[in-house]
Amino acid sequence: MSASTKWLIGEITLIAVSSTVMGIFGYPLLFPYGWHVFLHVLGAVLFMGNIIVSALWMIAAEQSGERAALRFAAGALNWADVFFTAPGIFLLLLNGFILSYAAWGGLTQGWIVLSLGLFILSGVIWAVFLIPLQARLIRLSSQTDSLPIAFFSDLRRWYFWGAAATLTPLASLFLMVFKPQLW
């Protein structure tokens, strides 16, 4: 297991523990409301920016046709998840819960519930498909002088699951901005 994957597991554990502890205390405002909005938006920028830019890195590396570029891009994806995706998730999730409880009485609005569900679905796709595929891409790109067919097969799967993991939070972002009355 790579060092970046170990860091991601630690960050995911921290997010789960923090969310649970904050939930026990009813997600109180830790800072003035406006600061929680700022931190929530900052989390969205870190999260969405990284998942979109990561795909562009991989596409550019693939188009270069160079094994070294593909290997570097695959490794950089994991570290980008450590430094941007996971902190973005932390800021989005904790501040989102705090804001929903402060302004809306918790998970009482359909747009909040659906948005959270889409966000969780994106996280499941990331944890179940993307992180293991990224680890395999790193391993396959460092084994031989030329890239095996399995690398490109896994890369296509990474593109597919990456698109799914990007579209679901984009839908969540739409719901957060427009707050439609769903039920």
Q: What is the pLDDT along the chain (183 residues), one digit of tens a residue?
A: 778 888 988 999 999 999 999 999 999 999 999 999 999 999 999 999 999 999 999 999 999 988 889 889 988 988 999 999 999 999 999 999 999 999 999 999 999 999 999 999 999 999 899 989 998 998 898 877 788 899 999 999 999 999 999 999 999 999 999 999 988
**pLDDT given for residue 65 in this prediction:** 84
Could you count the other beta carbons within 10 Å of the beta carbon of residue 7? 16
Residue with structure tokens 């889409």?
A: 118
Two tokens, residue 53 = 């830019």
Q: How many CA atoms lie within 13 A of 81 on its CB side?
A: 26
For the chain, the residue count is 183
Residue with structure tokens 């297991």?
A: 1
**pLDDT given for residue 109 in this prediction:** 95
Distance CA 37, CA 163 (A): 27
**pLDDT given for residue 98 in this prediction:** 97
The residue among 29, 158, 13 whose CA lies nearest residue 99 is 29
Which residues are CB-neighbours of 93 under 8 A, at least 6 positions away? 15, 19, 43, 119
**pLDDT given for residue 6 in this prediction:** 87
For 130, which DSSP code?
I
pLDDT in tens, 12-54: 999 999 999 999 999 999 999 999 999 999 999 999 999 999 9
**pLDDT given for residue 82 in this prediction:** 93
- Sign, CA dihedral 159-162-164-169, equals negative
**pLDDT given for residue 142 in this prediction:** 84
In the chain, domain spans: 3-178
Query: In three state form, how does the secondary structure of 46-114 look?
Result: HHHHHHHHHHHHHHHHHHHCCHHHHHHHHHHHHHHHHHHHHHHHHHHHHHHHHHHHHHHCCCCCHHHHH
